[in-house]
Chain A
Amino acid sequence: NAGVTQTPKFRVLKTGQSMTLLCAQDMNHEYMYWYRQDPGMGLRLIHYSVGEGTTAKGEVPDGYNVSRLKKQNFLLGLESAAPSQTSVYFCASSSAGNYGYTFGSGTRLTVV
């Protein structure tokens, strides 16, 4: 049982480049989330999804887009990367009525 898998694990981008982070879960969870983690700031919600085909903005959505075309996958896109987007990105999922997130192992992104 893999749980939540994030790819890639590391990436270095140049300012202005684009990329997509992939999150896949095999637990049939309804809800999926993207967070960023920065030192001293805890985890901040970027976008979330309550089901296939639906997405919504979180606390810090600017500069990011998401898609959830399949229930098991949640993609996070950066259209034009900026140094301020240097961070560790975590995907998480949860099911209705079972409170508690399952996290992926993270993607460390550096924008130079």
Chain B
Amino acid sequence: AQSVTQLDSQVPVFEEAPVELRCNYSSSVSVYLFWYVQYPNQGLQLLLKYLSGSTLVESINGFEAEFNKSQTSFHLRKPSVHISDTAEYFCAVSDLAGGYQKVTFGTGTKLQVIP
């Protein structure tokens, strides 16, 4: 069985400050890892994903996440946040077993960017 833990339910941060949203996972097999973003009253959108290769992955809007196998973590970071980054962020894990992509989501972290 796989699971995802997002340690912080809410993270307030001032505009232009750096932010880190924490995500830890557990799985008995190799995994794929994802971050999704949900803006108010919208569905989830894929922000970035780690499948294989370089452990550092980046999104088009300046976020990055690093896969750390020894610490079973996939923390999301941005060096300077904007008001438009205010949203809820979900970490997700998908294992490689089975014939379909079974994804387990974390409970989400609400990022509030303060002007």
Contacts and interface: CB of A to CB of B under 8 A. Distances in A.
Nearest to B106: A42
B45 interface: yes
Interface stretch (A13-21, A60-68, A78-86, A94-102): A94-102
A101 B103 contact: yes
A106 B105 contact: no
Contacts of A96: 100
A106 B100 contact: no
Of the candidates A48, A50, A96, A101, the one having the most CB atoms from chain B within 10 angstroms of its own CB is A101
B45 A31 contact: no
Interface residues of B, number: 22
Contact of A31 (B46, B90, B100): B100
A92 B49 CA distance: 17
B101 interface: yes
Contact of B101 (A31, A103, A105): A31
B44 interface: yes
B56 interface: no
A40 B51 contact: no
Contact of B90 (A40, A43, A99): A43
Given A42-B107, A43-B90, A50 B100 contact: yes
Contacts of B9: 40
Interface of B: 9, 32, 34, 36, 41-46, 49, 51, 90, 94, 99-101, 103, 105-108
29 contacts: A4-B43, A31-B100, A35-B105, A40-B9, A40-B107, A41-B107, A42-B90, A42-B106, A48-B100, A50-B99, A50-B100, A90-B43, A92-B44, A94-B101, A96-B100, A99-B32, A99-B34, A99-B49, A99-B101, A100-B46, A101-B44, A101-B46, A102-B46, A103-B44, A104-B43, A105-B42, A105-B43, A106-B42, A106-B43
